[in-house]
Amino acid sequence: MFSQSLIPIYSLRFMACYFMVVNAIAIYLYPGGSLYNYDLTSYSFTENFFSDLGVYRTTGGEINFLSCILFNSSLAMIGFASLSYAFVPKLFIENKKAYNFSKIAAFICIISGFCYIGVGLTPADLYFKQHVWFVIFAFHLQTAGILFMVVAFLYSRVSNYYTAVAFIYFVCVLTYSIFETSSPPSPDFNPRNQDMLREFVPYDRMVISVVSQKIITIIAFISTILFTFGFKSLADKNN
């Protein structure tokens, strides 16, 4: 009989695999163009943000239908997969403190997941202000959720290995959140206005942001997969 404790394990693993595979295809199909280089004819790992995959029209003026659909579907998948955190607290039931902290973590992670859906529903070229705020809320909530998950792991019967993984993940996401989202652009900022862009985001700063986004994404999905093994360990101990 399929146990509810397996829901977060398999849904989070599927989400991670779906995101990586679908966005690899989206990158391949992307017509090109970045904020600093409208003439690019393909996706650049040092100049294109992930959000560039989700725009309706590229900076070069081309319709980005296929990549847009694929990328935004992967954000929707993050949101739907986050619902599986509702089953996570049951894995920590043997320790009251771990259980309570896991409930807080689960609630925050679910809200963060819905913010990622919001990111997908607000393409940066059409709803830039709303897009930025959904990104900020998603990362800040994710940071808080991971912190509470660290504490839940600490009080649980799971190996300290998973506590260490959760803590490292927390530090990485916190650092990225502070670096990227602590100074949001002004309400009238238009990233496709070259003069405004160069004043607010110099080219070197943009490259750092683009590359660090790739790094934190890799860290996030590796950590998520490792989390599922921690959840599986708790599920086995509870049986």
Q: Which residues contact 154 (CB under 8 A, 6 or more apart)?
A: 98, 163
SS3 235: helix
Low-confidence ranges of the chain (pLDDT < 70): 1-3, 182-184, 187
Q: Does the reported pTM lie above 0.85?
A: yes
pLDDT for the residue numbered 116:
95
- CA distances to 24, 174, 197, 210 from 192, rounded to whole Å, are 25, 28, 7, 16
Number of structural domains (the chain) is: 1
pLDDT for the residue numbered 120:
94
pLDDT for the residue numbered 232:
87
pLDDT for the residue numbered 202:
86
pLDDT for the residue numbered 205:
87
pLDDT for the residue numbered 1:
40
pLDDT for the residue numbered 2:
46
Radius of gyration of the chain (CA): 19
pLDDT for the residue numbered 151:
94
The domain containing residue 193 runs over which residues? 4-238
3-state helix, strand, coil in the chain (%, to 5): 75, 0, 25
